[in-house]
Structure formats: structure tokens, C-alpha cells
A and B are shown apart, each in its own frame.
Chain A
């Protein structure tokens, strides 16, 4: 070969080599792969430019040795990488290692190093020591930080996804029309083992609750045949017998106008479903109850006039059809009768200002013209906005009418009772008058006859004596009538003496006459001394005494209202003294004794018997009754009852 040719060949070879080296350099730079060479004898490490770059250094900025390299390896990875190097370095070098390095600026990178184990096998380059070990090693190093990070991120994402599905009890699936992929959680939800294959349609339908199986099968059929999405909630019966509700949603996946399959989720909605059913049931019960009670519930802001809630029954109460949908505040409000609205508005405004609850009554006129009585109760929670109330509306119409009817009947009864009493007393008085007049008239006539017999000449003494005898007779007869009247109570109702707690009687009578008192704005109080002993009396008669005196007191205050106070205490004479005090018109000017006489009355519709009977009863019990004028307004009636009777009991 000619020198010239050799030279030329050498030049060409050199150029080729240069070119190859440049390409290698370029290839290493692009692939982030560097190479290295380690002379075990000299401990000199030779790096390619890219290796320098991977370690964060400028290419060939300084010579390398093992200690320098070692220092750049992440401390946590150093031991595993160089473990046992000193003893048997070659044997200790792992041909394939992944480790972290720390760059000068503190940046941590992950690299992958490959070491050739077949060094000696490489022809022409094998350099061995005395023991036949190679004294040079060659390898590559690749910066895999980015790939590593992406891998880690993916793993994290997948873990999160799995965990998320588990927590949400939601599984996912994909289908390309012929085959299906299920996430692990989907297996769990349907009660299948994730280690097994995705169940077939038949296997899948088998676990669906028999009553829901047909609808699920239909949904699957529609998906397969018509490529339609689905959203079905079905019950499943898992192998352990547990019944769960699962909602399965599938959406079509279309890429560039081509149907690719389905992407879907399945979710265990048992809790929600049961809750929903429970709510639905509760709501049905509540609606039914409201309808029965004519009671509507609502929540609104009275200031902004915004309604947050209005039950169906609430709408019905106002004469609206709940199926019409939400009814604005003003439609409700405008049904209120104008004459009631002013007062109602004032009450509501006061409540809003005070942030207080309210309880109001008002009337409304429904669209059909009927007038209804309503009661509205609103509750304001201090934590709520101003004017925000939650409450109920109750239709009071029937109750109101019943009340009015009851009041009317009660009034009628009271009137009748009074008329009866007046009539009865009138009858009694008339009968009594006749009974007494008869013997009196007879004795007067006899007296006249007697005088005439005596006036005769000569006087007829025999006849005069006979007439005088009749006078006596008829006089006694008149007295008898009166005695009979006095013993009327003893005869009319045989006295039944029993041990009675006067406190109980006072409370009973106060309760009995409460309504009568309210009607005339009279409040009834009682004050019974705790030392007041029980006494032996006729309970009914004593009740009548209280009734008479208390009715009189209420009567005396009927135009003014006032207070009726009943007090009882023992006195030092071995008696119980009872006083019934009113703040009414007071006693008549005349003698206060006279008011106890029979037929004495100052009231146009009075019988004049009340106090006479009262005195008769009290005296028959060994007591006394009298009246005194109060310092201020009104009068006080007192009566005493002996305690000593108690000892004989």
C-alpha cells in the first residue's frame, strides 16, 4: 500500500472516527446516557462529556477518581452501591444499579448505571492482573430522573384512584362492546373476587335482585344493541346474602365520531337509597299528619318576603293547589282580611324588631270566598337572618266555631239556670205567700168576728171565746208554715255531715266559677291559713254558701272587673272564719243586716233568697254570717263555722 494511500486511508479513518465520536457524543447527549471507564490499577476514572453533564459538571472539567465519584453518590445509596467493594471489588460491582446522585447545587438525580461484566470477553481490550481479573471496567450511566418521577407520579395516581374508589364505594368500568374491564372496587361492590375474571353478563345478572333483574337486563341490552348510555339503580344480593343498592352509570365514548365503547361507574348507594326512602316515608307521614291536623309548615323571611319552604297542606289551608308549584309570599299574604291585616302587620313587625317568636290569629278569604280563621306560630332562631322564621299555620275555623257554639250553649245554660232559679224562687215565694196569708187572713177575720160578738148587747161571750181560740189556732198555723220553711233545707236534703277540708272546697268552687269570673274580668284568689283544721259540715250546703257569696261578689264587680279573694283561718274562739272579699259596688246604704232577709234584693233579677239561704245554712251549722264594707271599694262577707264539731267526729 502506498504511503499516500495509507495516509489517505488514515485521514479517512480518522475523519470517520471523529465523525463516529461526534455522533456518539450527540447520541449520548440526546439520550442522557454517558459512559465511563475505570482503571482499577491507577484508579483513574474516565467519563464521557454526557457523564459529566449527568453529574452536573462541565465536560472534562477535572479528572475523576473513585473517591470523587463515591462522594457524589447520595449517602443513602452509597453503601448498597459500593457494599463489599474493597475485598472483592469486581465481584461486588452490581452490573445493573439504580441510585441517586447529588449534584453540586444540591439537586438530586436518579441514574441508572450498567457495568459490563463481559469485559474480558471483549476481544483485544482485555487487560487482566495477575489474578486474571480485569483491571479496567466500562459502563454507562443514564439519567432516569424524569422517567422515575413520571413513574412515581403514575403509581401515586393509581394508588389514589384505587383508594378514592374504595372510599367512595365507587367502581369504574370500561367496555369496548365485546369485553369489559372492571376496577378492583367494582368487584368489591358487586361482591366478586377481584382476582377472578370479569364476570359474564349471566353471572352479573345472577346477583341482581330478582325484582330488578329484568330492568338491568334491558339496560344492558340497550347498551349493546343501541349503544345507549345507562343510569340504573338496582338491588343486588351478594353472595353473603346482603342486599345493597347499586347505581350504575354508563356513558358512550366517541372518538372522532366513531363509537368506541362505554365508560362507566357503579356506586354503592345503599345508604343514600335507604335514607331517601326514609325521607320519602317521613315526608309522606308528615304530609298526612299535616293534612289531618289542618296544619301547614313553612319557613320564610318576612322582611325579604322570600319563602324557603311551604308544605302542601300549608298551600291547601290558603285555598291554593300545591301542585301548582311554589306560591310567592304575596299571594299568601294577600288572602288576609284587610280588617285583620293592620293588627297582624303590627304584631309581626314587633316580633321582627325584637327578634322574638310570635303567635298570631287572623282571618283569610280564600279564592272561593270562604273565610277561615288561622293561627300562625313563628319561631325565630337568633342565629338566623333578621326576619327569618320557621313556623306553622293552623286552620282554627272548626275549633273557633265549636268554641263559639260552646260559649253560646254555656251562656244559654247559664241563662236557663238563672231563669230556673228565679222561677223556682218566684214559685216558692208565691206558694209561701199563699201559705202564710191564709192563716193570717183567717185570724184577722176571726178577730173581727170576735170583736163583733163582744160588741153585741149582750155580748156573746161563748162565740167570742170560740173566735179567739181560732185566732190562736191560725196564728200557730202561720208560725208552723214559717218553721217549715226554716227546716226546708233539713228536709229538702237530709244533712250529711262529713269531715271536710275547707281548702278543697274553696279550690273547687274557685275552679267552678273561674269561667264566670273571666267573663266579668274578675280574678279569683284564695289564701287559706295552713293551720286551718278540717271540720264536720254538710259539704253540699257549704258549697252552696260559697257559691252564693262568690256569685254575689262577681255580680258586684261585673261592670268593673276586679279581684275576688277568699281567705280562711282559725280564730281564737274555736271557729274557722272565712271571708269573701270583692272590689265591687259595695253594700247598700240600708242596714247590712237587712240584706240577709228573705226576698230582700237590690238586683233587678235577684230572688232575694241567696243570702237568706246562706244565713240559714251557716246558722244551722252553728255559725254566723255578716257583711262589712271595705276601706276601699267593695264589701267583705264573713262567716264562721265551729271547729269543735271536729272533736265529735
Chain B
């Protein structure tokens, strides 16, 4: 977790009031934050924070089925791990849900531990995803802080070229290349060329051959 203040939140969408209250209570009983909604629309209206979160979603909802809601979220680029719960699910339905990225598919009534385990797993997955996202954002920021020449040099470095070759490639002196290279390593916070190559990989830079 990025900070101590970041409290994971479990969102619950179930049209059955008793059901969503009991799930919320169960989640809270293990010290997690929980918020519940009767419909998907209500959930969408709430402003999301960057805190890790997951969604406990009832398959049968009044307006739109849980599975359709899952697809709608994916289409709008909102990434949140989903745990499906249903009063009567069948195998094809669960397969479809899981294939679309659901963490778990639970049939009511479920064992509380199964739900809590699934929630933990989902939060971890969200956390990891957020960290990955944060790292990626950081790297992007550093990369974009490079000058155009530095970005050019970086691409050639990660392609495995020697300074002499790079100098000839960009039409500069070998000394100039050394300065650029030093700047790149520093600005990108890379400890080694190997580090830099990994970063380039994450940034999806295509090395020159």
C-alpha cells in the first residue's frame, strides 16, 4: 500500500436490501470499508478514489444483469475486480463471468470465509494493478522529462549500441554522447544499462537494430 491512509473499500451492488446490508456488515466486521448500492447506476455516480477497491456484484439486477454491467465497466475502461454472487447461478454463467475477468463466482447462500477470501484476493489484485499503474505513470513522467536527443540516445543505448556507434548514428562526437547517456541514466533513475533496458521494455520502446 502506498500510504497508511489508503483504506481498501468494498463496493456492494445488490437489489436485495437485506442481502447488501448483511454483506456490508460482514465486510465491515473484518475491518474493511464497505459501501453498498441497489443499482449499478448509483455506483457509477460515486466518485472513485485511487484506493484499492473491489466490487461484490449480484448477477440478477433490476435493470441490467451483473454480467452486462461487468462488460459496461470494461468498455468504459474502469478496472475494478469483481466478485459475483447469485441466488441461482449455472455453470455457463459462471464461466462467462470468470472469462471476462471476474475474481470469483459465489452462489448464495455462500460461506462467509469464501466471500472474504475472494475480497482479499480482489483487493490484492487491485492493489497490484494500481501499483503497476503508478509505476508505469512514474516511468512515463521520467521518460517525457528527457530531451528529444536524450530519448533518441536512450533508444539507441537499449538497442545495445556502443557510444562510438551512437555518435556516428546521431552525427555527434563520442563525448557528447557520453553526456547525453549520463543524463539519461540519471533522469531515468536507472542503476545500470540492464535497468534501462527493462524500463524501455515497460515503456514499449522499440529498440533499433
Complex Cα–Cα for A466 and B29 (A): 12
Complex Cα–Cα for A441 and B18 (A): 9
Chief secondary structure at chain B's binding surface: helix
12 contacts between A and B (CB under 8 A): A434-B60, A438-B87, A443-B18, A443-B22, A445-B25, A446-B25, A448-B112, A452-B30, A463-B25, A467-B29, A474-B22, A477-B18
Q: Is A442 within 8 A of B18, CB to CB?
A: yes
What interface size band does chain B fall in? 10 to 19
- Chain B residue with minimal CB distance to A477? B18
Q: Is A456 within 8 A of B29, CB to CB?
A: yes
Q: Which of B23, B25, B26, B109 contacts A437 (CB 8 A)?
A: B109
A433 at the B interface (CB under 8 A): yes
Q: Is B88 within 8 A of A433, CB to CB?
A: yes
Complex Cα–Cα for A265 and B109 (A): 116
Q: Which chain B positions have C-beta within 8 A of A473?
A: 18
Q: Is A441 within 8 A of B25, CB to CB?
A: no
Complex Cα–Cα for A433 and B90 (A): 14
A444 at the B interface (CB under 8 A): yes
Q: Is A433 within 8 A of B26, CB to CB?
A: no
B124 at the A interface (CB under 8 A): no
Q: Which chain A positions have C-beta within 8 A of B22?
A: 442-443, 445-446, 449, 467, 470, 474
Q: Is B26 within 8 A of A445, CB to CB?
A: yes
Q: Is A438 within 8 A of B112, CB to CB?
A: no
Complex Cα–Cα for A453 and B25 (A): 9
- Chain B residue with minimal CB distance to A466? B25
Q: Is A470 within 8 A of B18, CB to CB?
A: yes
Complex Cα–Cα for A449 and B112 (A): 8
Complex Cα–Cα for A53 and B60 (A): 149
A264 at the B interface (CB under 8 A): no
Q: Which of B16, B19, B26, B87 contacts A449 (CB 8 A)?
A: B26
B6-65: which have CB < 8 Å to A?
16, 18-19, 21-23, 25-26, 28-30, 60
Complex Cα–Cα for A433 and B115 (A): 21
A454-472: which have CB < 8 Å to B?
456, 460, 463, 466-467, 470
Task: Encode contact with B along A532-570: 1 for CB under 8 Å, 0 otherwise.
Answer: 000000000000000000000000000000000000000
Q: How many A-B residue pairs have CB under 8 A?
A: 77
- A189 CB to closest chain B CB (Å) equals 104
- B133 CB to closest chain A CB (Å) equals 32
A439 at the B interface (CB under 8 A): yes
- Chain A residue with minimal CB distance to B30? A452
- Chain B residue with minimal CB distance to A439? B18
- Chain B residue with minimal CB distance to A440? B109
- Further contacts, 19 of them, CB under 8 A, given A442-B18, A449-B22: A430-B88, A433-B88, A434-B60, A437-B87, A437-B108, A438-B18, A440-B108, A441-B87, A441-B110, A443-B22, A444-B112, A445-B19, A445-B25, A445-B112, A446-B26, A449-B26, A449-B28, A452-B26, A474-B18
- Chain A residue with minimal CB distance to B31? A456
Complex Cα–Cα for A449 and B88 (A): 22
Q: Which of B19, B28, B29 contacts A438 (CB 8 A)?
A: B19
Complex Cα–Cα for A433 and B89 (A): 12
Chain B residues close to A by CB (< 8 Å): 16, 18-19, 21-23, 25-26, 28-30, 60, 87-88, 108-110, 112, 115
Q: Which of B21, B28, B29, B108 contacts A441 (CB 8 A)?
A: B108
Q: Which chain B positions have C-beta within 8 A of A456?
A: 29
- Chain A residue with minimal CB distance to B29? A452
Complex Cα–Cα for A366 and B53 (A): 85
Q: Is B29 within 8 A of A445, CB to CB?
A: no
- A198 CB to closest chain B CB (Å) equals 115
5 tightest A-B CB contacts, nearest first: A448-B112, A441-B108, A441-B109, A452-B29, A442-B18
Instruction: Knowing A430-B88, A434-B60, A437-B88, say if A442 contacts B26 (CB, 8 Å).
Output: no
- A286 CB to closest chain B CB (Å) equals 71
Q: Which of A433, A453, A463, A474 contacts B87 (CB 8 A)?
A: A433
Q: Is B19 within 8 A of A467, CB to CB?
A: no
- B94 CB to closest chain A CB (Å) equals 16
Q: Is B25 within 8 A of A444, CB to CB?
A: no
A365-380: which have CB < 8 Å to B?
none
Q: Which of A440, A444, A463 contacts B29 (CB 8 A)?
A: A463
Q: Which chain A positions have C-beta within 8 A of B16?
A: 438-439, 442
- Chain A residue with minimal CB distance to B106? A441
Task: Encode contact with B along A469-501: 1 for CB under 8 Å, 0 otherwise.
Answer: 010011001000000000000000000000000
A226-266: which have CB < 8 Å to B?
none
Instruction: Knowing A433-B88, A437-B87, say if A442 contacts B21 (CB, 8 Å).
Output: yes
Q: Is A449 within 8 A of B29, CB to CB?
A: yes
- B150 CB to closest chain A CB (Å) equals 56
Complex Cα–Cα for A440 and B115 (A): 16
Q: Which chain A positions have C-beta within 8 A of B25?
A: 445-446, 449, 463, 466-467, 470
Q: Which chain B positions have C-beta within 8 A of A444?
A: 109, 112
- Chain B residue with minimal CB distance to A442? B18
Q: Which chain B positions have C-beta within 8 A of A442?
A: 16, 18-19, 21-22
